[in-house]
Amino acid sequence: MSLSHSHEKHFTSWLGLCPAQKITGGKVKSSKTRSIVNRAANAFRMGAFSLTHSRCALGAFYRRLRSRLGAPKAITATAHKLARIALRAGVLTS
């Protein structure tokens, strides 16, 4: 099954793992993620946090972002990446 990029974007938005950009008059007022209570998003965040000491590419991605952005933003960004990978791999299709 072929998934489009818009499907991935809708899925990660539903999880609350992507930034909600509030732009008015060409100025960015806010670009932080929405606070959504979602068990799947929490599972992806726990998976992202478990990559702290992992020696894989995703672990390196998390550590790079953590050094630059801080732990909370790095966890959200890595969870976003994990959700996209799981959706592409067909783990979440019924």
Q: What is the pLDDT of residue 46?
A: 96
Residues 6+ apart with CB under 8 A from 2: none
Written as six digits, the tokens of 27 are 């100025």
Distance of alpha carbon 16 from alpha carbon 28, whole angstroms: 19
Tell me the residue range of the domain where 76 lies: 38-94
pLDDT surpassing 50 at residue 1? no
Assess if residue 9 is contained within a domain. Answer: no
**Is residue 93 a part of any domain in this protein?**
yes
The answer to whether residue 3 sits within a structural domain is: no
Residue 70: inside a domain? yes
Number of folded domains that form the chain: 1
Who has greater pLDDT, 57 or 4? 57
Residue 64 lies in a domain: yes
pLDDT at residue 6 is higher than 80: no
**Looking at the domain assignment, is residue 14 inside a domain?**
no
Say if 7 falls within a structural domain. Answer: no
pLDDT average, residue stretch 56-71: 96
